[in-house]
Amino acid sequence: MPIASSGYTARADIQPRSVHLVHTRQLSKVYESGAAPVHALREVNLEVEEGELLVLMGSSGSGKSTLLYVLSGLEQASGGEIHFDGQRIDLMDETELSMLRRQGIGFVFQAINLIPHLTLFENVVLPGYLVSINRDEVDHRATELLGRLGIGALRDRLPAQVSGGEQQRAAIARAMINAPRALLADEPTGALNSASGSAVLEGFREINARGQTILMATHDVKSACIGDRIVFMRDGQIRGEYRLKDSTVAVEDREAAVLAWLAAQGW
């Protein structure tokens, strides 16, 4: 799928294109609200390769969701650098960040967050219309995506008229409509039952197999097991990582291996 012509552009002050799609250096985020500042991220150094499916794990308040929000530019970093596709996100203004989110990054939420009064198809095409003036092409792409995620027949339903899993797949299609360089997913199966969650994970696996870079935050070990690499976070810091792709553990034993690793990390 071609990326449409309009979109975010490289800044003059960026560094030479990194081999990593995402690269953070000493990234920190402090929330100043309340009496004492809350350090949500502390000197996080993270690299994500193109085409990788990276899973962020950690308990509530560990900083994984904050990391995704800072990486997407929805939250401003308090310090450090974020390199995305060769550009410094932390130096972008609001409009440049919007352009980045429009084409560079797709976002999937735990709460799904489809626009309730739009049909699934309308939810998917709207961000596409932001980028492309060829609306036929956007419609075609949306139809294809919905079909690929198994909800093509539901395209004219409103979110409230389909199941949570179907809604989340529509949200994935929406995030994918502009063929982003990276797909960021925050607890995408958190609000779903087991069957719906599996369908969503299957969707992620399917699009990752086509080369899509995905960063997914999750509590769920089963969800984490679809990743290439798991990064474990606690208190705003990366405490360790586990490479599933290079692991010699059989797929069916992965959950146990990941659990064992997490336990060793203090999960």
Q: Least Å distance between CB 30 and another protein?
A: 15
Q: Least Å distance between CB 95 and another protein?
A: 5
Q: Least Å distance between CB 18 and another protein?
A: 23
Contact predicate 215/183, CB 8 Å: yes
- Output the CA–CA distances (angstroms, integers) from residue 212 to 34, 63, 183, in the order listed: 39, 24, 7
Contact predicate 211/232, CB 8 Å: no
Dist. CA 120–CA 187, nearest whole Å: 20
**Which tokens sit at 160?**
């409230």
HSE toward the beta carbon, residue 53, CA cutoff 13 A: 22
Q: Which is closer to another protein, CB of 54 or CB of 97?
A: 97
Which residues lie near another protein (CB under 8 A)? 60, 65, 69, 72, 74-75, 94-95, 98-103, 107, 109-111, 113-119, 121-122, 125-127, 129-131, 135, 139, 158-161, 174, 178, 186, 191
Q: Which is closer to another protein, CB of 122 or CB of 235?
A: 122
- DSSP bridge pairs for 3: none
Q: Least Å distance between CB 175 and another protein?
A: 8
Q: Least Å distance between CB 171 and another protein?
A: 9
Contact predicate 88/27, CB 8 Å: no
Q: Which is closer to another protein, CB of 37 or CB of 116?
A: 116
Helix residue ranges per DSSP H, 92-238: 94-99, 120-131, 135-148, 164-176, 194-209, 221-224
Q: Which is closer to another protein, CB of 159 or CB of 197?
A: 159
- What is the per-residue DSSP string for 59-83? -TTSSHHHHHHHHTTSS--SEEEEE
Farthest-apart Cα atoms in the chain, separation: 53
Q: Which is closer to another protein, CB of 28 or CB of 132?
A: 132
Q: Least Å distance between CB 261 and another protein?
A: 26
Q: Which is closer to another protein, CB of 81 or CB of 139?
A: 139
Q: How many helices (H) and strands (E) does the chain have?
A: 8, 10
Q: Which is closer to another protein, CB of 102 or CB of 254?
A: 102
Question: Which backbone phi and psi does 251 adopt, to 5 degrees?
Answer: -55, -45
**Which tokens sit at 16?**
């030479």
Dist. CA 60–CA 28, nearest whole Å: 18
Q: Least Å distance between CB 19 and another protein?
A: 26
